[in-house]
Structure 1
Amino acid sequence: MMDPQIERKLIEIMRVIHESDKPIGARAIADELNNRGYDIGERAVRYHLRILDERGFTSKHGYAGRTLTELGEREMNEALIADRFGFVISRIEEMAFRTSYNPETNEGVVPVNISYFDKDDLETVIEIVSYTAHEGYMISPRVRIIEEDEELFSLPPGKIGIATVCSVAFDGLLLKAGIPVEPAYGGILQIENRKPARFSDLISYSGTSIDPIQIFMSRRTTSVLDVLEKGEGKILANIRQINLSAYERAREIMEKVEKVGLAGYFPPGEVGETLLGAPIETGKFGIAIVGGINGICALEETGIKIKTNPVSTVMEYKTMTEI
Structure 2
Amino acid sequence: MTDPNVERKLVEIMRIISESDKPVGARLIADEMHNRGYAIGERAVRYHLRILDERGFTEKHGYIGRTITERGKKELSDALVSDRLGFIITKIEELIYRTDYDLDSGKGNVIVNISYIDKDDYDNAADVIRYAMAHGASISPKVGVLEEESDDYDIYIPEGKIALATVCSITFDGLLLKNGIPTMPAFGGLMQMENYEPEGFVDLISYSGTSIDPIKIFLRRKSTSILKSIDTGSGYMLANMREIPASAAKRAEIVIERAKKDDIGGNICIGDSGEDVLYAPVQRGKVGIPVMVGINAVAAVEEAGIQIDTHPVSTVMEYKKMKIL
Q: Give your verdict on TM over 0.5.
A: yes
Residue 140 of structure 2 is aligned to residue 140 of structure 1: yes
Q: Structure 2 residue aligned with 1:298, among 282, 297, 300?
A: 300
Residue 280 of structure 2 is aligned to residue 278 of structure 1: yes
Q: Alpha carbons of 1:309 and 1:191: their partners in 2 closer, same or farther (altered >3 Å)?
A: same
**For each residue in 1:156-198, what CA deviation from the matched residue of structure 2 results, as whole angstroms up to 9, or x when unmatched?**
1111110000011100000001101121111100011110001
Q: How many residues align?
A: 255
**For each residue in 1:180-235, what CA deviation from the matched residue of structure 2 results, as whole angstroms up to 9, or x when unmatched?**
11211111000111100011111111221111111011100000010111111100
Residue 174 of structure 2 is aligned to residue 172 of structure 1: yes
**CA RMSD across the alignment:** 2.1
**Is 2:196–2:234's contact at 8 Å kept on the other side of the alignment?**
yes
Q: Structure 2 residue aligned with 1:260, among 256, 259, 262?
A: 262
Structure 1 window deviating more from structure 2 (127-136 vs 271-280): it is 127-136
**For each residue in 1:34-88, what CA deviation from the matched residue of structure 2 results, as whole angstroms up to 9, or x when unmatched?**
xxxxxxxxxxxxxxxxxxxxxxxxxxxxxxxxxxxxxxxx999756222211211
Query: For residue 240 of structure 1, what is the aligned residue in structure 2?
Result: 242
Q: Alpha carbons of 1:288 and 1:77: their partners in 2 closer, same or farther (altered >3 Å)?
A: farther
Query: For residue 97 of structure 1, what is the aligned residue in structure 2?
Result: 97
Matches within 5 A, 1:3-22: none
**Is 2:244–2:286's contact at 8 Å kept on the other side of the alignment?**
yes
Residue 86 of structure 2 is aligned to residue 86 of structure 1: yes
**Is 2:113–2:310's contact at 8 Å kept on the other side of the alignment?**
yes
Inter-partner Cα distance in structure 2 for 1:3 and 1:259: 51
Per-residue deviation, 1:270: 1.3
Query: For residue 149 of structure 1, what is the aligned residue in structure 2?
Result: 149
Inter-partner Cα distance in structure 2 for 1:180 and 1:294: 26
Inter-partner Cα distance in structure 1 for 2:83 and 2:77: 12
Inter-partner Cα distance in structure 2 for 1:270 and 1:85: 30
Query: For residue 64 of structure 1, what is the aligned residue in structure 2?
Result: none
Residue 231 of structure 2 is aligned to residue 207 of structure 1: no
**Is 2:11–2:79's contact at 8 Å kept on the other side of the alignment?**
no
TM-score normalised per structure 1: 0.75
Q: Structure 1 residue aligned with 2:194, among 192, 195, 199?
A: 192
Residue 314 of structure 2 is aligned to residue 308 of structure 1: no
Inter-partner Cα distance in structure 2 for 1:99 and 1:199: 27
Inter-partner Cα distance in structure 1 for 2:139 and 2:156: 25
Q: Alpha carbons of 1:75 and 1:111: their partners in 2 closer, same or farther (altered >3 Å)?
A: farther
Residue 229 of structure 2 is aligned to residue 227 of structure 1: yes
Per-residue deviation, 1:260: 1.1
SS at match of 1:234: strand
Larger radius of gyration: 2
Q: Alpha carbons of 1:233 and 1:153: their partners in 2 closer, same or farther (altered >3 Å)?
A: same
Inter-partner Cα distance in structure 2 for 1:134 and 1:181: 29
Inter-partner Cα distance in structure 1 for 2:256 and 2:190: 22
Q: Alpha carbons of 1:322 and 1:77: their partners in 2 closer, same or farther (altered >3 Å)?
A: farther
Query: For residue 108 of structure 2, what is the aligned residue in structure 1?
Result: 108
Query: For residue 290 of structure 2, what is the aligned residue in structure 1?
Result: 288
Unmatched 5+ residue regions in structure 1?
Answer: 8-73
SS at match of 1:80: helix
Per-residue deviation, 1:130: 1.6
**For each residue in 1:74-125, what CA deviation from the matched residue of structure 2 results, as whole angstroms up to 9, or x when unmatched?**
9997562222112111111111100011122111011101100111111121
Q: Alpha carbons of 1:77 and 1:221: their partners in 2 closer, same or farther (altered >3 Å)?
A: farther
Per-residue deviation, 1:153: 2.7
Structure 1 window deviating more from structure 2 (127-136 vs 74-83): it is 74-83
Residue type matched to 1:312 in 2?
A: S
TM-score normalised per structure 2: 0.75
Query: For residue 125 of structure 2, what is the aligned residue in structure 1?
Result: 125
Residue type matched to 1:196 in 2?
A: P
Residue type matched to 1:236 in 2?
A: L
